Structure 1
């Protein structure tokens, strides 16, 4: 059987909370949708893999958006899922004929939620619009001056409007003001302010604390002292350490003991994540993406037998600080006490850590690439990324319970 992996892309609500994930089939040989694989086969792979792995492992309790080509519309019995946790996207090039309309009506009667994908209004969609709950507007294909007309037309029909391929925060704010309900794109990973602003004092303090905690020269006593200065972080860290997720066989009663018992690296990471979680004006998926990126880079380094896998994790963790801190990455890096090698990896993607960062970014787009400095086979790369994604989900779930 050929190797493949499932890429997932977040879909946000108006408060930048993750509403759902779109699942996309990708070949682990190229990282793209295979050119010789048609839509029917790609959807079949997503459905088969999701059923085998378990949909909840891929998307948790959130809905999964799954592309639906013609075959699955006219033969709806091929769908293996109950209707309660999926949104079926009718692909834009599906011919809307009587058979498709009948299939859409039947799926709606069975309780499935339907969406139209990559939508730009055309009268051929009029009949289909009666059976869908969500329409995905392809924003780059619509002139900004026409956004209001398109959104208003759809809102009058009583459907939810999902703006896809939203690339900037400015686009997000404009589309939100026009009434869009959901959003998809990479705007969440870009800072709102990139020039002419200094870091706010509270964020600078958080960043400096993160820097000290991630500095290998910070000893255990200093690390314990830093953590203890923040009551909220101390409480949440201790709660996690003593929770079932911590998997310890006795109760930990002090921050210092936690650092010694669990190990410096584990507590360092958890405290860093807890600090990041305090930046509550940021979308949760940004933190998820950061964790996936950092863990993937660590796993990649371990697979390549690098002796500084923790440094790879740190590069991944710090690579999104511009978005977390609303400031240019160069400015943020200047506040960090990190080696020049890490600075170069972050700012210019130089060296093996920089190339690993470039690979991690490519995977976030559902693509494999030639960036891999270790020449690890693509199926293993795909597997490492899936492992990192699962780890990030479980990590955040553990933090929520702690």
Structure 2
């Protein structure tokens, strides 16, 4: 993506966010990692990523690393000149990591030699951008991956670009693949790696009716979202579901909690954990159980992250008059059509939310909530220039919104890792 100078690199506390990268069968290939801070985020390709990102990942300070390692997927991080010269990529395992650099960095002294050494030591070399400059031929020959945004490009342009890149034996990573049509077009001409919003959208070819399991889970969601719920009845409802009860009791009896006595019943669990915390866990578990898409783990984490982000933005900007809890549900449910391969028109009939929120899920024109959903998407996809414009248009505090995104990333990481543990 083009260099974005509007939002500088973060200072102070940072968290690691990720964008999934898929192969041509929509299987997860790996993740591009980038830092987000409480003041402002740094994009994967803006050349200003804090050097601590590699150290955080390597030291397992990034809690998602073990999951990525276990699944045999790759991670890709951007490095600037100082990071390369200081050998920062060596903080990452060579069998796992792709070292990404801006193509113009290759013209700096010592960088070609350093990249060649990294390549010989087993690291993948990823190049951000492809100008075709003959001065960079040696870099293109060294590259394993060349990452180029394809938004706005026609089929013949992508085909020509791919043929040129194939001449130097590198894979093309198509960035900003924003819809299913773009994915299909790129795959048809031979692109093999994809990054963008396309995976968040339902495939119209495979859309079908919800199965009975999904319907029963949606009905349980309705019950847990009731105002002033009858806790005893809820406990009985949850306890009647053997799978949910088993997962909840296993979760609470894990070492993460360290309760002195085993949790033996759902009533006991509610008393120990508190209904609000338990409800957050149940939401994610129920969505996970409903999911049928192959990209489920990332969609689930993204939905949890988006819900928390919208909630925190609403809390820090109360002049909007939006209910934070309602916005949390909006974000959480916003990917259900993809997760369930079911039209949103059908799904919203089961959801325990007000009509205006259902309209936002259906993407009704002029819906008052849609700008905040669009802002969340900008942050998720590291489109910082677009995010900057939207924050100004919506009169949102830049620092507060950036902090909300950072905190949402951390919250979703913890929640989704715990529920799968």
TM-score, normalised to structure 1, is: 0.77
Decide which moves more: 253-262 or 175-184. 175-184
Q: Residue 38 of structure 2 contacts residue 406 of structure 2 at CA under 8 Å; is this kept in 1?
A: no
2:402 to 360, 379, 382: 382
- Corresponding residue of 1:208: 219
The answer for unaligned runs of 5 or more in structure 2 is 1-7, 69-73
The answer for unaligned runs of 5 or more in structure 1 is 34-38
Structure 1 residues 375 and 204, CA gap change in structure 2 (3 angstroms): same
Q: 1:323 and 2:342 equivalent?
A: no
Deviations 1:29-77 (A, max 9, x none): 6x687xxxxx9xx6354214654797744462455433345x459x623
Structure 1 residues 80 and 149, CA gap change in structure 2 (3 angstroms): closer
- Corresponding residue of 2:416: 396
User: What is the DSSP-based 3-state SS (H/G/I as helix, E as strand, rest coil) of the residue aligned with 2:195?
Assistant: strand
- Corresponding residue of 1:60: 65
Q: Residue 359 of structure 1 contacts residue 372 of structure 1 at CA under 8 Å; is this kept in 2?
A: no
Aligned pairs (5 A) from 1:163-174: 163-173=174-184
- Corresponding residue of 2:293: 281
Whole-angstrom distance in 2 between the partners of 1:2 and 1:20: 20
User: What is the DSSP-based 3-state SS (H/G/I as helix, E as strand, rest coil) of the residue aligned with 1:65?
Assistant: strand
Q: 1:361 and 2:373 equivalent?
A: no
Q: 1:264 and 2:296 equivalent?
A: no
Q: CA deviation at 1:292?
A: 0.9
Structure 1 residues 310 and 25, CA gap change in structure 2 (3 angstroms): closer
Structure 1 residues 83 and 337, CA gap change in structure 2 (3 angstroms): closer
Whole-angstrom distance in 1 between the partners of 2:345 and 2:393: 24
* Aligned residues: CA RMSD: 4.1
- Corresponding residue of 2:328: 313
- Corresponding residue of 1:129: 140
Q: 1:294 and 2:304 equivalent?
A: no
User: What is the DSSP-based 3-state SS (H/G/I as helix, E as strand, rest coil) of the residue aligned with 2:34?
Assistant: strand
Q: How many residues align?
A: 390
- Corresponding residue of 1:36: none
Q: Residue 135 of structure 1 contacts residue 159 of structure 1 at CA under 8 Å; is this kept in 2?
A: yes
Q: CA deviation at 1:3?
A: 5.1
TM-score, normalised to structure 2, is: 0.74
Q: CA deviation at 1:19?
A: 1.0
Structure 1 residues 253 and 193, CA gap change in structure 2 (3 angstroms): same
Decide which moves more: 162-171 or 210-219. 210-219
Whole-angstrom distance in 2 between the partners of 1:2 and 1:92: 20
Q: Residue 83 of structure 1 contacts residue 113 of structure 1 at CA under 8 Å; is this kept in 2?
A: no
- Corresponding residue of 1:9: 19
Whole-angstrom distance in 1 between the partners of 2:329 and 2:392: 18
Q: Residue 54 of structure 2 contacts residue 91 of structure 2 at CA under 8 Å; is this kept in 1?
A: no
